[in-house]
Amino acid sequence: MTDRLTIPRPDDMHLHLRDGAMLAGVLPETARHFGRAIIMPNLVPPVVTMAGAQAYRARIMAALPKDADFTPLMTLYLTEGTDAADVAAAHAAGVIHAVKLYPAGATTNSHGGVRDVTRVLPVLEKMAEIGLPLCIHNEVTDPEVDIFDREAVFIDTVLDPLRRRLPSLRVVMEHITTSQGVDYARTGGDNLAATITTHHLIINRNHILSGGIKPHYYCLPVAKRESHRLALRQAATSGEARFFLGTDSAPHIDALKEHSCGCAGCFTATNTMPLLAHVFEELDALDRLAGFTSRFGAAFYRLPVSEKTLILSKSDTATIWPEKLDTGAGPVTIFNPGFPVFWQVTP
């Protein structure tokens, strides 16, 4: 049995850092283990221009602990008013590494997103031309579509037609949650990839709803039935380069999670790597963890694999994390997998 694992320093290819006091509180949790992260742009107001991305990056760097070695990979929030020339200039200058498409109203701070994909085609055509990836929140927002079906419907009605129209567009299906998402990701060749979160490998919808509502397991896309979780686990541990880690770690203060209309998001930055070691060990796939966390995402985003390393070790005593992270914005509950974990990151 392996009890020590050395991998290239991992990348988180989908991360929420928020801003202000929350940014200062949560950033050290990611920077402790991850060398790079794709930073989500859904602030209030969102990051919609090159100048906005530069300013947000400067705030992140100012909040970074002095001894940290961490690179934020910035993105722009796609709107129906986005200027294709500004996007191209931001990419050429190395300011951004992707553009994020939120269907309007799909998740946190997404109301300024895209209502009709045809209205952003000039931007997407330019992105296809220059090789800039499009990260997509894969859900329709039609209230007549069941929340557990919104990913599958999005793939059929929005994503597949878009990719047929622009086959050279490089697309990341963010935080897939269904077997349909897994299957579709496998149809796309080198221009299609998918991120998988830590929490969707661990929880299904029963964890949210059985025995009382668990607000800290509520996320969007919402966790699905067990068959979908098992499909995600198979994909993540398959060794296929199209699947890589994007935690979607999404901090909200407890007062906004434990609320009559609670916010969506699981905060996993603190303990993702030990949790993934646990999952991959369960599936006899520890030798594939480095691909999922450190190699495949870097390859898709055309980045070098980190020359630095991260060491994971297993002990006979369960690893204990704090229940909450205290931030200047308020307490944030750290994701609890609901079972003992014996892996830890070794300093």
Residues 6+ apart with CB under 8 A from 331: 253, 254, 324, 325
- Which residue stretches of 69-178 are H helix? 84-92, 121-130, 150-154, 160-165
Residues 6+ apart with CB under 8 A from 300: 13, 133, 170, 172, 193, 241, 244
Eight-class DSSP state of 287: G
Eight-class DSSP state of 328: T
Place of tokens 């934020």: 72
Residue type, 334: I
Q: Find out whether the peptide bond into 167 is cis, omega within 30 degrees of 0.
A: no
Partners of 93 in the β-ladder: none
Q: Which helix (H) or strand (E) holds 288?
A: none
3-class DSSP assignment, residue 140: coil
Place of tokens 């047929």: 164
Q: What are phi and psi of 236, to 5 degrees?
A: -60, -35
**Residue 53: which of 78, 30, 33 has the closest Cα?**
78
Q: What are phi and psi of 193, to 5 degrees?
A: -140, 170
Q: Which helix (H) or strand (E) holds 314?
A: strand 309-314
Catalytic residues: 248
